[in-house]
Amino acid sequence: MTDPKFYQLTRTERLAWLVAHEQLSAEDAAFLAQQQPLSDEIAGSMIENQIGQYQLPIGVVQDVVVNGQTYQVPMVVEEPSVIAAANNAAKMVRLNGGFQTHQQQRTMLGEVVLTDLPDLKVAQNWVLANQDLLMRVAQAAHPSIVKRGGGLQAIKVTVVDQTFLKLALTIDTQEAMGANIVNTICEAIAREVQSDLGGTILLSVLTNAAFGAVTVATVTLEPATLATKQLAGEIVAQRIVQATRFAQVDLPRAATHNKGIMNGVDAVVLATGNDWRAIEAGAHSYAAQSGQYQPLTSWQLAADGRLVGRIEIPLPIGMVGGSIGILPAVQVAHRLLKVTNACELAGVIAAIGLGQNLAALRALVSDGIQKGHMALQAKSLAIAVGATETEIEPLVAQLTQAKHLNTATATAFLAQLRH
């Protein structure tokens, strides 16, 4: 169903294409076409001190194949090259059978920390001996999540730095990201422990090191499908492996390697109404867990010469809760994506992150990142210097031939165009 010229269509034509191919309902297409702002009621009740609204474009990555299913993936992002790169990767991966993903478990973690306890060992033993009581406290604190099949699953108790009593709570939040559910349970447990043992509740809150929601995506590619005009696919594949190896031993590179991954991850997280700060915090803490900040992906050559990529990333995303049910554009994005549960959504997001990394590494080790970037950057520059709708195209054509792509050049070319 891929239309190779989708990006060349007008926005109206793209929406019509999605409706014609039954990816979007006519109502949802009309909603996107109108670009209605949020109602005052919604915008005003979402945050404190609201003074206006802030727009970002929403786009789509076409035909992303994950576990044999084809998705149209919505992305909200301000960086010009992100969706182009994701599309590029989706095309390469489609030729190789698509992404495979799985999320082994989906639990959130909370921490309850007490201080000023007279005997930390006695306190630790008390928690171990009173697990049933604490389970009952958790159930009473959030009965509806228990009815939905979730709730507190396990309590681990440790003494940290000979000062802190820490209870690590593993909580099943079902289809919600679960921050509020976890915090409610943590606070109830903290009160119970304090009332039995004394001491001071230092804090009781979820941790964004969501290592209970790690999602894995993998892909295996024939090197020939990675070839560029200048380089054979085998060379590109070898260099991708080397570039990843370099990121494993060089923190400055690892940071940028992971930023490229998060370009894709955050854009889908945002489009689907999830908390991208939570996803960022989780991803970077996972990358740093060994003490040496690591790339979130690995690329290796298999014995048969194929390139095997893998991403491991905590994705505590939700299908309900937070702003998901409130923002109309988020609901349209969910209907476009058509995932049915949080685990499936996490799989698509992990796949997008891995694809984004593939596209970035392929460009980096062949033509360099600027070639593709600057073509798209020229458009942003044209708009920034004040080009009108009809001036953008000719100005971009001139800018892509220019030796120096900067504001001065763009302003000069625009003045020439207007003469």
Catalytic residue numbers read: 79, 259, 275, 373
Choose the stretch contacting ligand NDP; rule: CB under 6 A; options: 44-52, 169-177, 239-247, 297-305.
169-177
> What residues form DSSP beta bridges with 386?
none
At a CB cut-off of 8 Å and minimum separation 6, what does 232 contact? 223
Provide the minimum distance between the beta carbon of 297 and ligand NDP in the complex, in angstroms, as a whole number.
24
Choose the stretch contacting ligand NDP; rule: CB under 6 A; options: 156-164, 171-179, 291-299, 303-311.
171-179
User: By CB under 6 A, is residue 148 in contact with ligand NDP?
Assistant: yes
Binds ligand NDP (CB under 6 A): choice among 208, 215, 294, 377: 208
Provide the minimum distance between the beta carbon of 379 and ligand NDP in the complex, in angstroms, as a whole number.
33
| CA distance to 3, 181, 265, 271, per residue, from 76 (Å) | 21, 27, 10, 5
Q: Which is nearer to ligand NDP, 206 or 254 (CB)?
A: 206
Q: Which is nearer to ligand NDP, 20 or 203 (CB)?
A: 203
Q: Is residue 266 a contact partner of residue 279, using CB atoms and an 8 Å limit?
A: yes
Provide the minimum distance between the beta carbon of 283 and ligand NDP in the complex, in angstroms, as a whole number.
13
Provide the minimum distance between the beta carbon of 161 and ligand NDP in the complex, in angstroms, as a whole number.
23
Q: How many residues bind ligand NDP (CB under 6 A)?
A: 20
User: By CB under 6 A, is residue 174 in contact with ligand NDP?
Assistant: yes
Binds ligand NDP (CB under 6 A): choice among 28, 172, 266, 275: 275
Under rule CB under 6 A, which residues in 288-327 are in contact with ligand NDP? 318, 320-322
Choose the stretch contacting ligand NDP; rule: CB under 6 A; options: 174-182, 191-199, 248-256, 407-415.
174-182
Binds ligand NDP (CB under 6 A): choice among 75, 181, 262, 350: 181
Provide the minimum distance between the beta carbon of 315 and ligand NDP in the complex, in angstroms, as a whole number.
13
User: By CB under 6 A, is residue 180 in contact with ligand NDP?
Assistant: yes
Q: Which is nearer to ligand NDP, 87 or 174 (CB)?
A: 174
Binds ligand NDP (CB under 6 A): choice among 171, 185, 206, 287: 206
Q: Which is nearer to ligand NDP, 264 or 322 (CB)?
A: 322
Q: Which is nearer to ligand NDP, 145 or 247 (CB)?
A: 145
User: By CB under 6 A, is residue 144 in contact with ligand NDP?
Assistant: yes
User: By CB under 6 A, is residue 339 in contact with ligand NDP?
Assistant: no
Binds ligand NDP (CB under 6 A): choice among 28, 175, 266, 344: 175
Mapped to the 3 state alphabet, what secondary structure does the chain carry?
CCCCCHHHCCHHHHHHHHHHCCCCCHHHHHHHHHCCCCCHHHHHHHCCCCCCCCCCCEEEEEEEEECCEEEEEEEECCCCCHHHHHHHHHHHHHCCCCEEEEECCCCEEEEEEEECCCCHHHHHHHHHHCHHHHHHHHHHHCHHHHHCCCEEEEEEEEEECCCEEEEEEEEECCCECCHHHHHHHHHHHHHHHHHHHCCEEEEEEECCCCHHHEEEEEEEECHHHHCCCCCCHHHHHHHHHHHHHHHHHCHHHHHHHHHHHHHHHHHHHHHCCCCHHHHHHHHHHHHCCCCCCCCCEEEEECCCCCEEEEEEEECCCCCECCCCCCCHHHHHHHHHHCCCCHHHHHHHHHHHHHHHHHHHHHHHHCCCCHHHHHHHHHHHHHHHCCCCHHHHHHHHHHHHHCCCCCHHHHHHHHHHHHC
Binds ligand NDP (CB under 6 A): choice among 278, 296, 311, 354: 278
The residues binding ligand NDP (CB under 6 A) are 144-145, 148, 173-181, 206, 208, 275, 278, 318, 320-322
